Amino acid sequence: MIFSNATESKLTRIGVFYDGNYFSHVSNYYLYQHERKARISIAGLHQFIIAEVSKLEDAVNRHCRIVDAHYFRGRLSAHEAQSRNSLYSERAFDELLMREGIVSHYLPLVKGGEKGIDVWLALESFELAIHKRFDVVVLIAGDGDYLPLIRKINTIGARVMVLGWDFSFTDDQGNERTTRTAQTILDEATYPILMNTTIDDRSRKTDPLVNNLFFTPKKQQTQSAYQPEKTEEDSSGENCKGHIVTIGKGFGFIKPNTRGENLFFYFTDLENIDFNSLAVGDEVTFVRSTNEKGLCAKKIYKHLSA
**Three-state secondary structure of the chain:** CCCCCHHHHCCEEEEEEEEHHHHHHHHHHHHHCCCCCCCECHHHHHHHHHHHHHHHCCCCHHHEEEEEEEEEEEECCHHHHHHCCCHHHHHHHHHHHHHCCEEEEEEECECCECCCHHHHHHHHHHHHHHHCCCCEEEEECCCHHHHHHHHHHHHCCCEEEEEECCEEEECCCCCEEEECCCHHHHHHCCEEEEHHHHHHCHHHCCCHHHHCCECCHHHCHHHCCCCCCCCCCCCCCEEEEEEEEEECCCEEEEEECCCCCCEEEEHHHECCCCHHHCCCCCEEEEEEEEECCEEEEEEEEECCCC
User: Among the listed ranges 4-8, 10-14, 47-51, which one has the minimum average pLDDT value?
Assistant: 4-8
Tens of pLDDT, residue by residue over 181-231, are 999 999 999 999 999 999 999 999 999 999 999 987 554 444 444 443 333
- Residue 234's pLDDT band (boundaries 50, 70, 90)? very low
Tens of pLDDT, residue by residue over 139-160, are 999 999 999 999 999 999 999 9
Mean pLDDT of 65-74: 94
Q: What is the pTM of this model?
A: 0.70
Residue 11 in this model has a pLDDT that exceeds 60:
yes
Tens of pLDDT, residue by residue over 251-290, are 889 989 886 788 888 887 887 777 777 888 888 888 888 7
Mean pLDDT of 52-60: 95
Domains and CATH numbers, the chain: 8-223 (3.40.50.1010), 238-302 (2.40.50.140)
